[in-house]
């Protein structure tokens, strides 16, 4: 299994015909003992830096199954980081970050299995420590559910948001994270009939200190179609808007869900989108006018 990317230089109107290899798996390395990272790459999560022509993809490497009992701290889901320094045109050799990320929790609530939720790694609009705006990545993890990690050096090193004991969504499945307009961090995680959510508030933004609230379930009542019992792991978007009733400017949170009719719909039920290929995501660079589309095949 490979991760590939296509490039658009006209704001997504057209896309390159040629696929660019991000990480190419080698099936000949698959074995029944401990398959190495280089055998396969999947579930990509991507981000393109808002100031530099630099991108990273976080992917699952190897062939371990997240839910299988044989996947554990000694034989974990492998977490690979692949970097581009030219806006996604070429990609460096994947780097194994498994021990660096799992190790963040070894002295708190340890991980037996984990992977970065596919789609996007979120980059802060507000928090900048050093040369880069902060990155956030949400982990599907067991036991004890979802975690969030962050990086101030564009994915070269990571820290646990809330510390090694933090379990923001203990009952979570595949997660996403976003940044609220005031700099707080929200994590959402799929569950039957809705999403689990939690919010992190900083006490010291620079050092990352702060506190998670309690896990809350959003049932999404009022949709024109009921959410599927096995909903898509859809993105959350925070967008500026103007309320028609009084002209007040505000922010609106949009969450894509999968109704029983199998058509991806925004939670507001104002827009239908075509079904996307598995783990497909878009990323953009405001500084360079470049869009990329990444997926696995």
Cis peptide before 143 (omega within 30 of 0): yes
Of 66, 141, 67, the closest CA to residue 105 belongs to 141
Extract the tokens encoding 34. 């401990």
Pairing, β 119-120 against β 122-129: unpaired
Residue that wins the pLDDT comparison between 287 and 213:
213
Match 């040369």 to its residue by tokens.
131
Residue 294: pLDDT over 70? no
The model's pLDDT over 133-151, given as tens digits with 9 standing for 90+, comes to 999 999 999 999 999 999 9
Question: What pLDDT is attached to residue 257?
Answer: 63
Q: Where are the domains of the chain?
A: 3-296
From the CB of residue 18, how many other CB atoms can be counted at a distance below 10 Å?
A: 8
Kind and range of the H or E run holding 100: helix 98-102
Measured distance CA(142)–CA(125) in Å, rounded: 30
Of 57, 149, 171, 167, the closest CA to residue 104 belongs to 149
pLDDT band at 116 (very low <50, low <70, confident <90, very high): very high
Extract the tokens encoding 204. 């010291």
Question: What pLDDT is attached to residue 290?
Answer: 41
pLDDT band at 32 (very low <50, low <70, confident <90, very high): low
Kind and range of the H or E run holding 22: strand 20-23
pLDDT band at 274 (very low <50, low <70, confident <90, very high): very low
Residue 269: pLDDT over 50? no
If you classify domain 3-296 with CATH, what class do you get? mainly beta
Backbone angles phi, psi at 37, to 5 degrees: -55, -40
Match 């792991």 to its residue by tokens.
233
Kind and range of the H or E run holding 135: strand 132-142
pTM listed for this prediction = 0.84
Measured distance CA(47)–CA(204) in Å, rounded: 25
Q: What is the DSSP letter of 67?
A: T
């Amino acid at each position: 299994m490979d991760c590939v990317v296509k490039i658009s230089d006209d704001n997504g109107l057209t896309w390159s015909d040629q696929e660019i290899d991000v990480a190419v798996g080698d099936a000949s390395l698959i074995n029944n003992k401990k398959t190495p990272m280089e055998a396969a790459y999947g579930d990509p999560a991507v981000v393109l830096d808002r100031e530099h022509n630099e991108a990273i993809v976080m992917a699952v490497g190897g062939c371990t199954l997240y839910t299988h009992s044989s996947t554990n701290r000694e034989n974990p889901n492998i977490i690979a980081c692949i970097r581009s320094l030219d806006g996604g045109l070429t990609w460096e050799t994947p780097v194994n970050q498994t021990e660096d990320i799992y190790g963040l929790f070894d002295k708190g609530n340890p991980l037996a299995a984990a992977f970065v939720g596919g789609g996007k790694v979120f980059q802060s609009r507000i928090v900048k420590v050093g040369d880069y705006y902060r990155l956030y990545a949400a982990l599907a993890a067991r036991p004890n559910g979802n975690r969030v990690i962050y990086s101030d050096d564009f994915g070269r090193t990571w820290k646990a948001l809330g510390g090694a004991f933090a379990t923001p969504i203990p009952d979570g499945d595949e997660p996403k994270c976003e940044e609220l307009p005031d700099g707080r961090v929200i994590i959402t995680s799929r569950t039957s009939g809705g999403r689990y959510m939690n919010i992190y508030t900083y006490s010291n933004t620079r050092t990352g200190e702060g506190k998670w609230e309690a896990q809350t379930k959003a049932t999404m009542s009022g949709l024109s179609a009921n959410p599927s019992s096995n909903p898509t792991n859809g993105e959350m978007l925070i967008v500026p808007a103007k309320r028609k009733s009084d002209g007040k400017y505000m922010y609106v949170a949009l969450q894509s869900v999968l109704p029983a009719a199998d058509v991806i719909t925004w939670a507001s039920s104002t827009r239908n989108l075509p079904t996307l290929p598995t783990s497909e995501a878009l990323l953009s660079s405001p500084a360079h006018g470049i869009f990329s589309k990444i997926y696995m095949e």
